Amino acid sequence: MYAPLEFEDAHYSQIEYQRKQQQYWDSIRLAIFTLAIVAIIGIAIGIVAHFVVEDDKSFYFLASYKVTNIKYRENYGIRTSREFAERSHQIERMMSRIFRRDFPGSSRFIKSHVIKISPDEHGVNILVVLMFRYPSTSSTAQIKKIIENTFYQSLKIKQLPLTISKPSFTLTSIDSKKMRNLLNSRCGIRMTPSNMPLPASSSTQRIVQGRQTAMEGEWPWQASLQLIGAGHQCGASLISNTWLLTAAHCFRRNKNSHQWIITFGTTIIPPAVKRNVGKIIIHEKYDNKTNEHDIALVQMTSRVEFSNVVQRVCLPDSSIKLRPKTSVFVTGFGSIVDDGPIQNNLRQARVETISTDVCNRKDVYDGMITSGMLCAGFMEGKVDACKGDSGGPLVYDNRDIWYLVGIVSWGQSCALPKKPGVYTRVTQYRAWIASKTGI
C-alpha cells in the first residue's frame, strides 16, 4: 500500500523538479526581455533628448577689424552720438548678414554689439562683441574656427556695404564676465538674467489704471528716492555709476542729503541695491511757481555695480528732436489713481510725445509749457504718470538703446483728457548736466 505511493511520490517530485526548472528559466528570460525593452526605451529617450533638449551654451567673442571705405568722424568717439548709433547699427546689421545665413547649424549666431569705433590711417577700426549659442560640449577652439571660416567666406562671396580688410581681422574668445563688462561700458542697454540684451518693449501697461508691473531688468536705470522714515518720495534715473537725474521739486520740503537714500530694483521693498545720498544739486533757476527748470542731480556716497538690474540710461545729444506722436515709456512707483497710494511694484506706461504748440493750446495748458518742458500722453487722457512718479524717467528706444528724454515733472491731476503729463525736456539741460558732473 505504501510502495505505489512511494513510487508515485518519487515520480511526482521529478515532474515538480522539471517544472521548477522550467519556471526558473522562464523568469530569467522574462527578466532579460524586460531589461532589453528598458534599455531600448532608454536609448530612444536619450537620442530624442539629445536632439530636442540639446544643452546649448552661450559663447562670446571679441572681433576687431579695419574698415577701409569710410572716414573717421569726431562723433564716433561719443557713444551716445547719432553718428555712433547709426554707424554701429549698420555694422551690427552687416554682422547678422555675415553670420545668419548659410551658417552650419543655422541660427547659432545670436547678436552683435559694437563697442568701439576708433580712427585708423586707412579708415576706422571696429571692435564688436559677437554672441553665439552652441551645444555645451563644443570646444571654443572649434567654434572659433567655424566663425573665422564663415567670416572669410562672407568677405569673398557676399556684397557687404563696408570694405573689411581681411588681414586685420582678429577674433578672441571672452567669458561672460568680460562680455558683460564690455556691454556695461555702453549705456541704455537692458539685459535679461541670462546676459542677453532685452529687445524693445512692446507692452502698454499703464501707471494710471494699470495692472501689470514691469519685468525684472526691464528698466534698470529706475531708482526710488526715499526720505528716511517717510519712504518713497520720487523716482530718479541712473546716468552713471554715481549720478542720478531727478526733479527739483522732489526737494521742495527737504534738501538735506543725509536724510535721503536711493534704492534700485523693481520693488521698493525689498530693494535690489541701496545707497546713501552724498550730494544734491538743484537747478539754480528752478521756479516752484511756473515749474520751470524742474531738474536736479543726486550723487550717491558710493558707486553702484552695473548688473542686469542696475544699469545707466543714455543721455540724448542736445540736437536730438523727437517728432510729435513718438512712442516713449514712463515708469514709476507712483499711484495708479489721483491721490492713491504709492505702488510697491514698478509700473510702466507707453505714451506719445505731444508738440509744444498743441500742448500750449488754450484748451490744453494755455501757454504754460516753456522750452524746457516736454508734453507726453494722449489727448483723450487715460494713460499717464501720477503722484509719486515725479523725478522718474521718460525714455525713448532707438534701436534697443534707451535714452532719457524727460523727467516726470507735473500735470493737472492724472490722465485727464487734454491734460497730458509734462516732463522736463532733458536735451535742454544737456550742457547743465555736463557742467555739474562731467557726463
- So which residues are the catalytic ones? 249, 294, 390
Q: Would you count residue 406 as binding ligand ARG (CB under 6 A)? A: no
Shortest distance (Å) from residue 370 CB to ligand ARG: 16
* Site membership for ligand ARG, residue 386 (CB under 6 A): yes
227 binds ligand ARG (CB under 6 A): no
Closer to ligand ARG by CB, 187 or 245: give it: 245
Residue 268 lies near ligand ARG (rule: CB under 6 A): no
Q: How many residues does the chain have?
A: 439
Choosing from 242, 390, 424, 427, the residue that interacts with ligand ARG (CB under 6 A) is 390
| Half-sphere CA count of 251, side-chain side, radius 13 A | 26
User: Are the beta carbons of 116 and 183 closer than 8 angstroms?
Assistant: no
Whose CA is closest to 409, among 434, 427, 432, 426?
Answer: 426
Residue selected from 385, 395, 401, 404 as contacting ligand ARG according to rule CB under 6 A: 385
Member of 389, 393, 401, 426 binding ligand ARG (CB under 6 A): 389
Binding mask 320-359 for ligand ARG (x = CB under 6 A): --------------x-------------------------
| Beta-sheet strands, E only, within 314-400 | 327-332, 347-354, 373-377, 393-398
Number of residues that bind ligand ARG (CB under 6 A): 13
369 binds ligand ARG (CB under 6 A): no
| Residues 6 or more apart whose Cβ sits within 8 Å of residue 287 | 293
300, 414, 426, 433: which one binds ligand ARG (CB under 6 A): 414
Measured CA to CA, the distance from residue 373 to residue 429 in angstroms comes to 11
List 190, 206, 387, 425, residue binding ligand ARG (CB under 6 A): 387
393 part of the interface to ligand ARG, by CB under 6 A: no
C-alpha to C-alpha distance for 11 and 65, rounded to whole angstroms? 94
Look at the block and give the residue holding cell 531708482.
223
Give yes or no for residue 384 binding ligand ARG (CB under 6 A): yes
Cα 244 to Cα 236: distance, rounded to the nearest angstrom: 6
Q: Which is nearer to ligand ARG, 88 or 226 (CB)?
A: 226
In eight-state DSSP terms, residue 209 is T
Give min distance, CB of 206 to ligand ARG, in A: 12
The strands making up 109-120's β-sheet, listed across from edge to edge, are 109-120, 123-135, 56-67, 170-174
Cβ-based nearer residue to ligand ARG, 187 or 373:
373
Q: Which stretch binds ligand ARG (CB under 6 A): 81-89, 162-170, 254-262, 380-388?
A: 380-388
Residue of closest CB approach to ligand ARG: 411
Nearest Cα neighbor of 239 from 253, 223, 259, 218 is 223
Of residues 314, 226, 216, the one with CA closest to residue 272: 216
- Cβ(109)–Cβ(99) under 8 Å? yes
Per CB under 6 A, 411 contacts ligand ARG: yes
Can you tell me which of 217, 372, 388, 406 binds ligand ARG, judged by CB under 6 A? Answer: 388
Map residue 226 onto helix, strand or coil: strand
213 vs 220: CA distance, rounded Å: 14
**Is cis: bond before 270, omega within 30 of 0?**
yes
Give residues in contact with ligand ARG (CB under 6 A): 334, 384-390, 408, 410-411, 414, 421
